[in-house]
């Protein structure tokens, strides 16, 4: 008899094209020889990713609440018309202009864009992958791991069961009746040992990826032959000459890393001039956008920059029992997760770690199809379609096994190979440096950098899934950064050009001077400088393998050690780091140690490594 053990659980994740839209291409098996089917009726703009409902016309046979449907055309074999497809469940239905047209509320938003007239098709609610020979692992996208982790908090719904007291002679001071109220879904992952930069961008913004110039000497003259949308898996190129399955391409090639929407993907399949990618796109791209093949053993630069609207993530939690019986797998999927607060930290002798401290989610689905005591399939309870699938939030999803972990479809048309598990060394604190004004005037012993997005789950009037009373959306609030550090002062004979006049000056007490200056370095050209200072944290794991945190980004302007007399009239949104506290207390620490508490307004993270695809 098997037991469920924590050491046989895994957490994987992926980015979403729209909030709450877990990305996965599923086909599903037809529910019968003559399943219900119809065509999407969205003639003006198509059906955007993130849609919570769809309109279907030309309906053949009968759809009912509780049906699982595949949205998107699937050919008998890969063809030029193949499109992204996904499976969702009908939560409610309403007539929309006639008996052959209906609007379906879905159990969770759509993950992909769909054109008008794509097929909607009823599939078996107790199957998962459909034709695994044709699709299988190549359509699993929730395969990234954040790093090395030991525990995590699952965002299972927290129910607010509220007691109500009716005026009744039978109450006798007790609650009369309990009603379910608002639901919250909050989780987190602590102490993630970073193996690469995969988890870093989500509390900050976007990531652009560009290979070094020597790695883009392959097929040239390639462009997109049609615009593509964020979340697309299929793209159309003007030519595929020289490209083969397994090649990496950079979309948004400009010759350098200046394009803020450049991204790298691997080719899984080439169908005529249509190319299937190993992972959905992170950005919209216009037609004729330049595409270039990455041909050599590439080194990639990943630049993480702030964005107003944060991308959300889906989590997939997969557990096996100790007998590893497939039918006993326990799978949960959480959608619409926004990384609200996060921490990057390290201390001497240790490794660089990151925590997703608070992650709010919109909803979840799971693989527990039914509960035997719920036997009435009629009436207005959860689903009237099938007693075999009567559990709230039951949904179809592919299993993410251990051999799926890593970059999706890592081996091209073959299966994934599990390379997301640790195959590289972590980043160590001992490999790091910190510089202020480009000079090292303090030796850091530990640091903790905190990011808070002030996110707020919002609850609106509107249809959701049966018994789902979670947030309708999660919105970002004010962003705040802070950093604390324990530093040892430099040797007293060190010098640094850190004064207003840029003269050589003993840097051992520069930290104390910065505390008193409060970022104000005097007037120049009639303007008052309250600029703050800059810092750079860099952790190098080897040649072309590093993580650099610049506070603030170098192109923010108006920061750093100023030159006397310079007229810098606009300091709005351009300041650097300010010290709140730096007590130079006399303790038993030798050499002299100071605990810093700082605030700042912006940062940029740059990762250089050999990992081509970032989620």
pLDDT tens string 295-322: 766 899 999 999 999 999 999 999 888 7
Question: Looking at residues 269-293, what average pLDDT do you find?
Answer: 92
| Predicted local distance difference test score (pLDDT) of residue 252 | 94
> Does pLDDT of 233 surpass 90?
yes
The structure tokens listed for 414 are 């073959």
Of 575, 440, 578, 436, residue with least CA distance to 517? 578
Paired strand residues for 536: 435, 550
**Residue that is written with structure tokens 């040239």 in the block:** 220
Considering only CA atoms, which of 536, 537, 518, 520 is closest in space to residue 579?
518
The pLDDT of 568-589, averaged and rounded, is 76
Contacts of 133 (CB under 8 A, 6+ apart): none
Whether 77 has a pLDDT exceeding 50, the answer reads no
Q: Give 246's pLDDT tier (boundaries 50, 70, 90).
A: confident
**How far is the C-alpha of 336 from the C-alpha of 465, rounded, in Å?**
15
Instruction: Name the nearest CA neighbour of 11 among 198, 156, 189, 136.
Output: 189
Question: Would you say residue 428 has pLDDT above 60?
Answer: yes
Whole-prediction pTM value?
0.89
Q: What pLDDT does 502 receive?
A: 44
CA atoms within 13 A on the CB side of 215: 22
| Ordered structural domains, the chain, with CATH | 1-16+140-166+183-212+299-615 (no CATH), 25-137 (2.40.30.290), 213-298 (2.40.30)
562 or 373, which is more confident = 373
User: Which residues have C-beta within 8 Å of that of residue 379, sequence separation ≥ 6?
Assistant: none
Longest dimension (CA), the chain: 87
From the list 513, 487, 480, the residue with the least C-alpha distance to 499 is 513
Beta bridge pairs of residue 331? 318
Side by side, the strands of the sheet bearing 274-277 are 222-223, 290-294, 248-251, 263-271, 274-277, 234-236
Tokens 């050499």 found at: 591
Ranges 378-387, 446-455, 582-591: which has the least confidence: 378-387
Task: Indicate the helix (H) or strand (E) that contains 174.
Answer: none
Q: In 3D, which of 81, 54, 110, 69 has the Cα closest to residue 229?
A: 110
CA neighbor of 579 nearest in space, from 529, 513, 495, 521:
513
In our burial notation (b when 16+ CB lie closer than 10 A, e otherwise), range 169-181 reads eeeeeeeeeeeee
3-state SS, 328-392, equals HCEEEEEEEEEEEEEEEEEECCCECEEEEEEEECCEEEECCCCCCCCCCCCCCCCCCCCHHHCCC
Q: How far is the first Cα of the chain from the last one, in angstroms, to the nearest whole number?
A: 38
Q: Look up tokens 């996904």; give the residue.
A: 86
Is the Cβ–Cβ distance between 428 and 352 less than 8 Å? yes
Region 234-254 average pLDDT:
90
378 vs 65: CA distance, rounded Å: 11
According to the model, what pLDDT value does residue 609 have?
A: 92
Radius of gyration of the chain, Cα coordinates, nearest whole angstrom: 27
pLDDT of residue 437: 58
How far, in Å, CA of 569 to CA of 564, rounded? 14
Question: What share of the chain in percent tops pLDDT 70?
Answer: 80
Q: In angstroms, rounded to a whole number, what is the distance separating the alpha carbons of residues 320 and 10?
A: 9
What pLDDT score does 535 carry?
80
399, 401, 407, 408 alpha-carbon torsion, rounded to 10°: -40
What DSSP designation does 58 have?
E
pLDDT score at 310: 95
- pLDDT, residue 114, reads 94
Summary mean pLDDT of the chain: 81
Binned at pLDDT 50, 70 and 90, residue 493 comes out as low
For 146-175, what is the mean pLDDT?
A: 85
- For residue 430, the SS3 value is helix
Q: What angle do CA 508, 512, 516 make, to 5 degrees?
A: 150
């Amino acid at each position: 008899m098997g037991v469920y053990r924590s050491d046989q659980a895994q957490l994987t994740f992926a980015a979403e094209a729209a909030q709450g839209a877990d990305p996965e291409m599923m086909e599903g098996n037809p529910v019968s020889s003559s399943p219900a089917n119809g065509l999407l009726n969205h003639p003006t703009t198509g059906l955007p990713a993130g849609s919570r409902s769809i309109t279907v016309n030309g309906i053949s046979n009968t759809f009912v609440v509780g049906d699982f449907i595949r949205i998107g055309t699937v050919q008998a074999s890969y063809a030029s018309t193949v499109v992204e497809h996904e499976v969702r469940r009908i939560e409610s239905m309403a007539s929309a202009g006639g008996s052959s047209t209906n609007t379906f509320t879905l159990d969770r938003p759509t993950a992909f864009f769909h054109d008008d007239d794509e097929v909607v098709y009823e599939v078996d609610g107790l199957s998962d992958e459909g034709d695994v020979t044709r699709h299988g692992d190549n359509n699993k996208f929730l395969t990234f791991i954040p790093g090395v982790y030991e525990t995590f908090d699952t965002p299972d719904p927290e129910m607010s069961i509220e007691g109500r007291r009716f005026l009744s002679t039978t109450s006798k001071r007790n609650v009369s009746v309990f009603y379910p109220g608002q639901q919250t879904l909050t989780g987190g992952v602590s102490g993630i040992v970073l193996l690469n930069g995969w988890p870093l961008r989500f509390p900050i913004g976007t990531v652009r990826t560009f290979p070094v110039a020597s790695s883009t000497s392959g097929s040239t003259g390639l462009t997109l032959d049609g615009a593509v949308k964020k979340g697309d898996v299929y793209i159309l190129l003007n030519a595929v000459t020289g490209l083969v399955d397994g090649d990496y391409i950079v979309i948004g090639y400009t010759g350098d890393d200046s394009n803020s929407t450049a991204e790298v993907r691997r080719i899984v399949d080439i169908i005529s001039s249509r190319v299937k990618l190993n992972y959905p796109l992170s950005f919209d791209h216009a037609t004729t956008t330049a595409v270039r093949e990455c041909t050599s053993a590439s080194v990639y630069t990943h630049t993480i920059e702030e964005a107003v609207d944060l991308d959300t993530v889906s989590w997939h939690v997969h557990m096996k029992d100790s007998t590893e019986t497939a039918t006993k797998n326990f799978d949960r999927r959480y959608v619409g997760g926004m990384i609200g607060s996060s921490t990057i930290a390290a201390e001497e002798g240790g490794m660089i770690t990151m925590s997703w401290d608070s992650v709010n989610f919109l909803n979840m689905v799971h693989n527990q199809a039914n509960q035997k005591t719920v036997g009435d399939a009629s009436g207005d309870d959860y689903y009237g379609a099938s007693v075999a699938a009567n559990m709230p939030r039951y949904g179809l999803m592919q299993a993410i096994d251990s051999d799926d972990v890593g970059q999706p479809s890592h081996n091209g048309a073959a299966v994934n190979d599990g390379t997301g598990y640790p195959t590289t060394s972590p980043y160590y604190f001992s490999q790091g440096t910190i510089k202020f004004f480009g000079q090292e005037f303090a030796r850091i012993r530990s640091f903790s950098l905190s990011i808070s997005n002030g996110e707020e789950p919002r609850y609106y009037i509107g249809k959701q899934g049966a018994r789902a009373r979670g947030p309708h959306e999660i919105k970002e609030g004010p962003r705040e950064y802070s950093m604390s550090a324990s530093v040892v002062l430099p040797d007293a004979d060190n010098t640094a050009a850190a004064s207003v006049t840029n003269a050589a000056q003993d840097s051992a007490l520069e930290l104390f001077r910065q505390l008193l200056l409060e970022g104000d370095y005097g007037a120049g050209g009639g303007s008052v400088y309250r600029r703050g200072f800059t810092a750079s944290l860099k952790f190098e794991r080897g040649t072309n393998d590093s993580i650099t945190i610049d506070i603030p980004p170098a192109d923010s302007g108006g920061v750093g050690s100023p030159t006397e007399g310079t007229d810098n009239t606009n300091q709005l949104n351009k300041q650097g780091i300010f010290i709140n506290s730096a007590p130079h207390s006399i303790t038993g620490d030798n050499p002299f140690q100071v605990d810093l508490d700082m605030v700042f307004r912006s940062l940029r993270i740059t990762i250089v490594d050999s990992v081509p695809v970032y989620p």
